[in-house]
Amino acid sequence: HSGLRFHLLAEPETQEISRAGEVFHTALQVLKIRLQLQLLSWENVALLAELSQCPGEANPAACEGSHHSKYRSISGVCNNRQNPGWGAANTALVRWLPAEYEDREGEPKGWNRERLHNGFQLPPPRSVSREIIRSSCKWRDDDYSQLLVDWGQYIDHDVTFTPQSISSAAFWTELDCQQSCENLHPCFPIQTEDSLCQPFRRSTPDCYDRSGSDVQQALQRQQLNAITSYLDASLVYGHTPQLQSALRDLSGLNGKLAINDQFKDPYGRSYLPFVATTPSACRADPQGERVECFRAGDSRVNEGLPLIALHTLWLREHNRIAEILTHMNDHWSPEAVYQETRKIIGALHQIITMRDYVPKIIGLPSFERYLGDYRGYDPAVDASASNVFATAAFRFGHATIPTILSRLNDSFQEHERFPHLRLHKTFFSPWRIVKEGGIEPILRGLIGTAAPAAGPNSLVAEEVTEMLLVLESQQHMDLASLNLQRGRDHGLPGYNEWREFCGLKPIRTLADLAGVVRDGRVAEKILELYGHPDNMDVWLGGLVENFLPGSRTGPLFACLIAKQMQVLRDGDRFWWEAEGVFTQQQKEELLKSSLSQIICDNTDIQEIPKDSFAFAPYPAGYVGCSEIPSMSLEAWREEKSHDLQLCGFPRPIKNGDFIFSSKHGRLTALYSCYHGFKLAGAAEMFCEGNGWRDEPPQCTGKGIFMITRTRTSSTLYQRICLNIRKYLSLC
């Protein structure tokens, strides 16, 4: 596999913001070396941000109007009207505890390898992985299916995506991060036992924190979340207007998502469309026709076959619902069909995650303690993803990654034509879906196989500590080492500080740690490596904790995951239970749905457990699809209003569409243009008497994304430009 190189690129908007963040922080390095950084004023910081092309803050005034009332924005902006950037794409991961960097600004723990922490050097992540985390075998969890594990990865991709530095070389020396073993921004290589290293690029930084008045705090390195934090099915629909448009079937005028125009499955069902740029980086079938990488709302879709299968499932579910709604409400515009279907799909993601998934992961007692009953939308709650959730707590699932991907037939036995696969043979291989039986063998394997379970002496499988394929690396990588290094890269405080944050007793002695881990030998190894309990990385500490009763996490990760889920729910103005989002009848129908029902409706699978996250050996607990409760879309049937019968349909427009709204008691058509086009004329038309007042607007031209470089005559900033221009092309 050493010759494979895969590129996981963020969307163009994210790349521009990433570039601005790197320019900003590189300029700070110039200032730090050549000038006295402490002399910077807020005015200096603001000018530096302007020069670096850092985006401005969203203005609450932009959130007024009907467009932000009926449906979510694709970027998450204006979900919170008072704080439009909360939870939005391309904003910083939030900190629940202050960052800990060796220089207090951006150098991670372990950057200066000889530095002592509480009297001890930090162990290299690879040593922790080899001596504590790596596991040659995994025992099975008879309670839950493999689908529970893969739903965790899938839903993580709906909430967080932290892009890596867009530069692949050190700023000052131009040393390639793939070759260099030196810590030079953005390179932070992982030391290996043979005095070599594995490449590692730091996460891209956000520009700066505008919220406080402390310059030092504002300049501290924060990391981007490139996607919306909300549970909004952004991995189905995208998180930018450009990506959303690329995923839609706009020419079909039907509210559907685009499908693959080259292949269908053995039953005539749709596959995801291919990426626009070919040939793509995905693996090819060694003996047949080439299959490109699939395209979805999240660029990580091709990482594994289960992810592809789940993405395909939701593409089909969107188009199935959109077709029913189109026939049911023939007065709805394609835009209304699309938005209403997107709203339903988002609600189903929320229900399946919060009702069926989270309680199994953190246990019902933790769920009731930290989340409890829903009390309505709270605009004071910031729903943004937290750094510790994205970088540590929700990576608990890496300890439940299997070594084998099962592919099962109709009888839930190993498939005769498509046998089980070692996990490393499934990475970036969409051809196996198209050429080897579709998504059914994969989904049956997820449902009909018990999930691997984690324990303090059985953590992360060798399949991903020794044979992981990572984007842009020409060697096998170690997932456990990457996680530990990423936590240090992000400046996460240590395990003990997070225990105190959650109201748990900190670890002071070997006996304390042994009591939490319930394995004395593992506790001894950890303290032998780290020297002091306060040095423990939070991901490792949370991973080795003994599970709470009825959960798959220890008390720390249960707390952190629950807190994140609580803010995702309570801080979301469009949460499915929030007042005015759905009618009571619609809520009752949504609750009848399940992942099992969605699998039945969109595949050829005929038998399934009622809860597909629960494991039972076939045929125990399996029922026919006709016995699975089903959501009726009759609750979305909408009769034509009296005004619409009088005025008739408003005239459609080219390169745009409308949705109906009721403003000031009048039927209103709200027009918008597809991405790349500009609205010319009034966005609103009113139904008056027996006709529509005024003419509809037009969508003109093709929008061109342009960057205007700001210039200044300041000698100080000319010096900054001169020092970094050959690396970042700023000047």
**Rounded (5°) CA angle 335-83-581:** 40
Domains assigned to the chain: 642-700 (2.10.70.10)
On the question of pLDDT at 242 being above 90, the answer is: yes
pTM for the whole structure: 0.93
Across the range 327-335, mean pLDDT stands at 95
Highest mean pLDDT among 226-240, 688-702, 713-727: 226-240
Q: If pLDDT is split at 50, 70 and 90, which confidence band does 1 have?
A: very low
Please pick, among 1, 7, 117, 157, the residue that the annotation labels catalytic: 157
Q: For residue 214, what are its two tokens?
A: 């402390």
On the question of pLDDT at 707 being above 70, the answer is: no
Q: What per-residue confidence (pLDDT) applies to 146?
A: 95
Is 196 strand, coil or helix? coil
Q: What per-residue confidence (pLDDT) applies to 494?
A: 97
Across the range 144-170, mean pLDDT stands at 92
286-327 residue pLDDT tens: 888 899 999 999 999 999 999 999 999 999 999 999 999 999
Across the range 419-434, mean pLDDT stands at 93
- Give the start-end residues of each E strand in 167-243: 190-191, 197-198, 224-225
Q: If pLDDT is split at 50, 70 and 90, which confidence band does 456 have?
A: low
Average per-residue pLDDT in the chain? 88
Q: What per-residue confidence (pLDDT) applies to 504?
A: 97
58-81 residue pLDDT tens: 888 888 765 557 899 999 999 999
Is 669 strand, coil or helix? strand
Q: If pLDDT is split at 50, 70 and 90, which confidence band does 29 have?
A: confident
CB neighbour list of residue 682: distance below 8 Å, 6 or more residues apart: 694, 697
On the question of pLDDT at 715 being above 60, the answer is: no
| Region of poorest pLDDT, from 142-156, 400-414, 468-482 | 468-482
595-647 residue pLDDT tens: 999 999 999 999 999 999 999 999 999 999 999 999 999 999 999 999 999 99
Q: If pLDDT is split at 50, 70 and 90, which confidence band does 195 have?
A: confident
- 254 by Cβ neighbours in 10 Å (0-12 / 13-18 / 19+) ranks as middle
On the question of pLDDT at 335 being above 70, the answer is: yes
Residues of the chain above pLDDT 70, percent: 88
Q: What per-residue confidence (pLDDT) applies to 720?
A: 52
The answer to whether 157 is a known catalytic residue is yes
Annotated binding site for heme b: 398
Written as one letter, the residue type at 683 is A
- The three state secondary structure string of 579-627 is CCCCCHHHHHHHHHCCHHHHHHHHCCCCEEECCCCECCCCCCCEEEHHH
214 within 8 A of 220, measured Cβ to Cβ = no
The 10 Å Cβ neighbour count of residue 588 is 13
Annotated binding site: 398
How many angstroms separate the CA atoms of 182 and 175, rounded? 9
Are β-strands 622-624 and 666-673 bridged in parallel, bridged antiparallel, or unpaired? unpaired
368-418 residue pLDDT tens: 999 999 999 999 999 999 999 999 999 988 888 888 999 999 999 999 999
Dihedral of the alpha carbons of 477, 482, 484, 488, in degrees to the nearest 10: 140
